Structure 1
């Protein structure tokens, strides 16, 4: 779930940036830069847990996604920015 979540979060932002006219590498920087934005996810998943809509396992999986996304963003972002600088 964590890998899928990261791919979907980056992919959605990437697609939006491409539609807005950014190059592939610029869109990748935008996609990766949006990865650690987790405030809405935390609010929704906390509310869903409190309302009994999801169980503790799914709540834990979403928390893991948030944690991993925040930790891997600096590494991914520096690589993506490097690609823009290279012009590839």
Structure 2
């Protein structure tokens, strides 16, 4: 388990409980590292697929962008209304 930096556990036998941004999680550190590795690979695959394959981009990426645009417009309208209400009082 050298790749996971586990040499000894303060409480029990390995696998030790992991950390995520200095927060202790009840998952072994090896699982945290493996999950991060898979997440990075998935993100790279998504990025390459959306930039190379126009059909993939049309079916999966464009709807995500549309949802983000709607959410951003709703947030902007909310913040504008809040700012207007604050000025009115």
TM-score of the two chains, using structure 2 as the length reference = 0.32
Q: Which structure has greater helix proportion?
A: 1
TM-score of the two chains, using structure 1 as the length reference = 0.32
Q: Which has the larger radius of gyration?
A: 2
Q: Which structure has greater strand proportion?
A: 2
